[in-house]
Amino acid sequence: MIKILNNIDTNKLQQIVSRNNTEKNEVQQAVDTILHDIKQNGNKALFHYTKQFDGISLDEQTIKVTEQELEYAYSKVSPEFIKVIQKSAERIRNFHQKQKINSWLEPSENGEMLGQLIRPIEKVGIYVPGGKASYPSSVLMNAVPAAVAGVSRIIMTTPAQKDGRITPTTLVAAKEAGVTEIYKAGGAQAITALAYGSTCIPKVDKICGPGNIYVALAKKSVYGQVNIDSIAGPSEILVVADESANPVYVAADMLSQAEHDEMAAAMLITDSMPLAQEVQKELQLQTEHLERKEIIQKSLEQYGLIFIVKNLKEACNFANTIAPEHLEICTKEPFSLLPYLKNAGAIFLGNYTPEPLGDYMAGPNHVLPTGGTARFFSPLSIDDFIKKSSILSFSKEALLNLSEDIITFAKAEGLTAHANAIQVRK
């Protein structure tokens, strides 16, 4: 049973926040071996690991998804679900369109011209978990913003099933999201191929998307060779609630995250003991009827907590300390707490704004910072798929107006060549 604590247990909080520890030596060694092998042997190694881990044999002709395979995927997905995918993609597209920023130039009368040039990244790799599982929502959340940003090549890799095909819903989502190329590759080998390139899979400039510990450590290892979005950790939800909250809703929302995996964290902070007790009961009742019961029970046992605080302002302070991936505010006046909330991946306000709404249909991105990193990271957005260049243009007069200041600065740093580059122009 999930515990109710009258005092905030800082040690327990630290355990929850730091559970995303990717310093696993034996896994890192295996990832390093795969990285080295792919870099040295290219496709030969890529196909070897695909056979070893995914149980399928591929070659240069079969690794890339064909138009015929896309057509087959559409034939296997119900028209109703295709419409849902399209609706979700459109809502995600509309939200991210509002994030776009334009290049700008600002001339001044004294001969200075300063500005910023905005350009999309040219090639982005999208990693999507596959095999037995299917996550079309992850495809949409990663690929749609890239397409909106203007990325010309969106290259997706995902493991195929035992029959050599990719899950149809994943392919349909990729097509609707604007993915331009799809390859049947998974794990650390796919990340390495995207980072360094092979004769099959093009080298990209940035890699986005979730994965298991091997994928996470591979992304961490290739960072610098390419850019990455983040090192995704286990999912988490924190609900801040008062006596007006519906315990059935609160418990259901906590369980929606606990079912992800055994390391997921579901927490409630409230100033109402009666609510805490009702939520505690509801968690048990609802878990009994859910398919992923065993995973949920282990998640709640390890990382599920209910904290009792004196008031909602104190609850906000602890929410800022936890910096959760998902933060739900289920109070009588949820918007009144917004000024006190500083650290959260996404904030869901009100009893009818449950976390799964954000996962699938609302529009804002569900790729969010985990493990307390919302203190300094943001949700995936258009900014992840663009790059900025500063623009400078000075007339001779404008340069001379600043020349003595530049020379003084350069000499103070002992960089006389810098000073000379200005002096020769005087």
Alpha helices of 42-183 — where are they, by DSSP H? 43-49, 67-76, 79-97, 136-149, 168-177
Angle at which helices 25-41 and 187-196 pack, to 10 degrees? Answer: 50
Nearest to 188 by CA among 37, 44, 368, 24: 37
What are the backbone dihedrals phi and psi of residue 75, each rounded to the nearest 5 degrees, phi first?
-70, -20
Q: Are 324 and 345 in contact (CB under 8 A)?
A: yes
Spatial separation of the C-alpha atoms in residues 220 and 224, rounded to whole Å: 9
The helix (run of H) or strand (run of E) holding residue 252 is: helix 247-258
Instruction: Kindly report each contact of residues 393-396 with a partner whose C-beta sits within 8 Å and lies 24 or more positions away, as own/partner.
Output: 393/112, 393/113, 393/114, 394/111, 394/112, 394/113, 395/110, 395/111, 395/112, 396/111, 396/425
CA 128 from chain center: how many Å? 12
> Which residue reads 């969010």 in tokens?
368
β-partners of residue 126 are 156, 208
What amino acid positions are annotated as catalytic residues? 325-326
Q: Are 306 and 3 in contact (CB under 8 A)?
A: yes
Non-local CB neighbours of 128 within 8 Å, separated by 6+ positions: 135, 138, 139, 142, 156, 157, 158, 170, 174, 209
